[in-house]
């Protein structure tokens, strides 16, 4: 237990010490949320102003819509890239120190996953610094639900990263594979646009993408799906359906937890059987 | 060596490592007694690190096995890991943590009891003279300090066997002698078995027994004194105007086996001083320089492998072999060793 804790602690301490990384982590979200979000939001507003808009849609604010997606993006990026440290440890030789010690491999994977998840949670929570500027109102109910939701997603994504990292020897190789994963998963998750009116093939991929349910879960919590008028739910693409069944927040959390469990077991197996 | 028990703490049986068609370690067998300072001597690429990495359970074994402190390296990895400490050839510290954090992490990984943890950390920091820098990030340390910290770390869990893979490679002579002082101190005080690889002759001299390794095989294994005696008396080394003719003449006149290398020719005789005076007069080839020395481990190496033990004398096949080994191990072929 203490072994898992110290491996976790190592990642968290390094995150806190790395100020440059902390500062630069705001760049991408700022660009998406403030620059892209406001630009796109303005365009949508002017489009709506020219035609007949159903009542209730006046409340559609693209920047607000994007905010949960940006949380998703930040958590996803941070969690998946946290596994880079495994590859770097291997490159810089530190992994040998761990591998020659009597620590069970399973503990190493758990510690690393928890470390990556914690860092991604902290990073995701930092994004809430944007909240005062985009007009989202938070309440204790939202905060109490969003923290475990972010952690759950971060843990699952971390396990994916560690599964990939478990067999790779170079940082370049890891980054290449992760880049191949990151962009399609993000673009097809509903983080940047409402999941409405997609072509059939795209709809299928979106529904297969686990990140879709993570982003939708964040949207449902942060934008308060329960209190939303139906017309706005539709416009924001929040009525996600799989096989005719309307997906609930609880379904999504359950699915992500299950997916995470499978991933971490695979990561443990892969890490334990690989020749370091 | 009064503290040596008679127990074999390491028993290696037919240990083999193959990478595809290339055999890096060719079925070596030997044993090491508890409390012994045992050395693997050989050029780069001889298979020393590969053997040590197998014994430390970080590299899988192709064939054969080794028993460390009663535990089989192929079956009982966790128990073997508890019993050993290792200082790798390449650095293995977390440079973004402080010295103290690196040591704490090690204590946690090896389950060193909480009540003795800080005391042991302070003890090893004191011994390696790093106590003033305990809260500095390791990346601010010099090469010698990092090495000392690694040695300090390797001792924290009081291993029964300490593996040192080229412990002083790339360090200046002063740091080297410092580090050797620590190693000898610990060995005496804790009765730790020390297993070391080196390609420095002077370091091999410290060992109770030395195994010479070349091309993945154990060439010979004995105490440094016995090995030197095996070379036979004093070594005479000379350069002449015509080395080829000199070799033939010495063979013909004195019936001696002569070794020839880039630096000239050498051979050994029972008593150098008495041999030399008439020899200089009698040899029909003009002598450019001549010297005599008591045998060193380098002469031992020369005798058993036919080559001098030097980095720069790696033949091109040796270099190729080294490159292949590294690229198979997933390392960059031209990175530092």
Residues B216-248 pLDDT 10s: 999 899 998 888 877 777 888 888 888 888 888
Instruction: Report the alpha-carbon distance of residue B153 to residue B333 in Å, rounded.
Output: 29
The first and second tokens of residue A45, run together, are: 């507003």
Give dist(CA B268, CA A91) in Å, integer: 47
Q: What is the pLDDT of residues B252-287, one digit of tens each?
A: 888 888 888 888 888 888 778 788 888 888 888 888
Q: CA–CA separation, A188 vs A209, rounded Å? A: 7
CB-based contact A240:A216 (threshold 8 Å)? yes
Q: Do B105 and A10 touch (CB under 8 A)?
A: yes
- Average pLDDT of A40-47? 84
Q: Tell me what the mean pLDDT of segment B302-310 comes to.
A: 73
- CB-based contact A98 B84, cutoff 8 Å: no
Contacts of B90 in chain A (CB under 8 A): 93, 96
The encoded tokens of residue B231 equal 């070379």
| 3-state DSSP percent of chain B in helix, strand and coil, to 5 | 40, 25, 35
Q: Is the pLDDT of residue B298 over 90?
A: no
Q: Measured in Å, how far apart are chain A's first and last C-alpha atoms?
A: 23
Chain A residues with CB under 8 Å of B195 CB are none
| Average predicted confidence (pLDDT) for chain A | 90
Within 10 angstroms of residue A231's Cβ, the number of other Cβ atoms is 15
Decide: A237 and A194 in contact? Cβ < 8 Å.
yes
Task: Indicate yes or no: CB of A92 within 8 angstroms of CB of B101.
Answer: no
Backbone angles phi, psi at B137, to 5 degrees: -65, 140
Residue in B92, B108, B109 nearest the CB of A93 = B92
Distance CA B156, CA B122 (A): 10
How far is residue A142 from each of residues A120, A121, A190, A226, measured CA to CA in Å? Answer: 18, 15, 20, 12
pLDDT at B107: 94
Give the mean pLDDT of B27-52.
Answer: 90
- For residues B17 and B25, is the Cβ–Cβ distance under 8 A? yes
When pLDDT is cut at 50, 70 and 90, the band that residue A18 belongs to is confident
CA A84 to chain centre: 16
Question: What residues of A are in contact with residue B82 (Cβ under 8 Å)?
Answer: 102
Contact A96 B105 (CB under 8 A): no
Class level of CATH domain B233-294 = alpha beta
Q: Cβ of A169 under 8 Å from any chain B Cβ?
A: yes
CATH number, domain B8-225, options 3.40.50.300, 3.40.50.10860, 3.20.20.70, 3.40.50.10490: 3.40.50.300
Residue B328 has pLDDT above 70, yes or no: no
Asked if A171 is an interface residue toward chain B (Cβ–Cβ < 8 A), one would say no
Residue in A14, A94, A104 nearest the CB of B92: A94
CB contacts < 8 Å between A and B, how many? 65
Per-residue pLDDT averaged across A259-269, rounded? Answer: 96
How is residue B215 annotated by DSSP?
A: T
Residue indicated by tokens 């796109």 = A40
Dist CA A252 CA A40 (whole Å): 28
Q: What are the residues of chain B with a beta carbon less than 8 Å away from any beta carbon of chain A? A: 56-60, 78-79, 81-82, 84, 86, 88, 90-97, 101, 104-106, 108-111, 153, 330
Residue A49 has φ and ψ, to the nearest 5°, of -65, -30
Closest to B12 in 3D by CA, of B59, B62, B73, B57: B73
Q: Do A6 and B94 touch (CB under 8 A)?
A: no
Q: Enumerate residues 6+ apart whose C-beta is below 8 A from B279.
A: B236, B254
- What is the distance between the alpha carbons of residues A231 and A56, in angstroms, rounded to a whole number? 6
Using a CB–CB cutoff of 8 Å, tell me whether A104 touches chain B: yes
Domain ranges for chain B: 8-225, 233-294
Closest by Cβ to A96, choosing from B58, B109, B330:
B58
Tokens 């066997």 map to which residue?
Answer: B161
Q: Is it the case that residue A54 has pLDDT exceeding 50? A: yes
Structure tokens at B199: 């390609």
Q: Coil, strand or helix: which one is B297?
A: helix
């Amino acid at each position: 237990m203490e072994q898992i804790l110290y491996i976790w602690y190592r990642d968290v301490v390094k995150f806190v010490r790395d100020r440059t990384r902390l500062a630069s982590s705001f760049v991408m979200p700022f660009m998406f949320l403030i620059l892209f979000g406001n630009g796109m939001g303005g365009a949508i507003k002017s489009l709506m102003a020219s035609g007949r808009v159903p009542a209730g849609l006046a409340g559609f604010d693209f920047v607000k819509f994007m905010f949960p997606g940006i949380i998703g993006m930040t958590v996803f990026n941070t969690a998946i890239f946290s596994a880079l440290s495994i590859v770097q440890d291997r490159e810089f030789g530190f992994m040998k120190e761990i591998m020659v010690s009597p620590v069970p491999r399973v503990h190493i994977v758990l510690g690393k996953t928890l470390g990556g998840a914690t860092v991604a949670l902290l990073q995701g929570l930092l994004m809430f610094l944007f909240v005062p500027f985009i007009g989202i109102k938070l309440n204790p109910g939202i905060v109490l639900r969003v923290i475990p939701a972010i952690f759950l997603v971060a843990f699952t994504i971390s396990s994916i990263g560690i599964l990939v990292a478990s067999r790779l020897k170079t940082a370049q190789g890891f980054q290449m594979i992760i880049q191949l994963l990151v962009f399609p998963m993000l673009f097809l998750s509903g983080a940047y646009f409402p999941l409405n009116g997609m072509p059939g093939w795209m709809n299928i991929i979106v529904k297969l993408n686990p990140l879709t349910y993570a982003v939708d879960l964040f949207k449902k919590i942060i934008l308060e799906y329960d209190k939303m008028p139906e017309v706005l739910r539709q416009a924001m693409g929040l009525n996600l359906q799989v096989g005719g069944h309307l997906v609930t927040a609880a379904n999504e959390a359950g699915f992500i937890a299950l997916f995470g469990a499978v991933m971490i077991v695979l990561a443990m197996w892969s890490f334990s059987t690989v020749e370091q | 060596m009064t503290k040596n028990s008679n127990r074999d703490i390491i028993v290696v049986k037919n240990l083999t490592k193959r990478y595809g068609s290339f055999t890096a370690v060719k079925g070596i067998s030997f044993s090491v007694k508890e409390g012994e300072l045992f050395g693997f001597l050989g050029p780069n690429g001889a298979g020393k690190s590969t053997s040590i990495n197998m014994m430390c359970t970080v590299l899988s074994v192709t064939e054969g096995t080794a028993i460390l402190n009663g535990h089989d390296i192929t079956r009982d990895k966790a128990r073997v890991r508890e019993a050993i400490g290792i200082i790798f050839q390449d650095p293995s510290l977390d440079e973004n943590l402080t010295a103290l954090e690196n040591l704490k992490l090690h204590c946690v990984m090896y389950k060193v009891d909480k009540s003795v943890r800080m005391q042991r950390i302070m003890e090893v920091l004191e011994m390696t003279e790093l106590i003033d820098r305990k809260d500095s990030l390791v990346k601010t340390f010099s090469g010698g300090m990092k090495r000392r910290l690694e040695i300090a770390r390797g001792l924290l869990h009081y291993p029964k066997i300490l593996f040192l893979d080229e412990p002083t490679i790339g360090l200046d002579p002063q740091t080297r002698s410092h580090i050797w002082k620590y190693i000898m101190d610990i060995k005496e005080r804790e009765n730790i078995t020390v297993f070391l690889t080196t390609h420095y002759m002077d370091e091999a001299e410290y060992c109770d027994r030395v195994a010479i390794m070349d091309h993945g095989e154990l060439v010979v294994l004995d105490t440094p004194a016995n090995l030197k005696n095996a070379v036979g008396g004093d070594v005479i080394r000379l350069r002449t105007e015509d080395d080829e003719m000199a070799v033939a003449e010495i063979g013909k006149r004195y019936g001696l086996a002569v070794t020839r290398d880039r630096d000239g020719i050498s051979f050994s005789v029972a008593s150098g001083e008495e041999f030399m005076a008439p020899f200089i007069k009698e040899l029909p080839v003009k002598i450019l320089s001549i010297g005599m020395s008591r045998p060193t481990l380098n002469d031992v190496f020369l005798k058993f492998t036919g080559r001098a033990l030097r980095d720069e004398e790696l033949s091109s096949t040796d270099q190729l072999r080294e490159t292949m080994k590294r690229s198979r191990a997933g390392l960059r072929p031209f990175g530092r060793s």
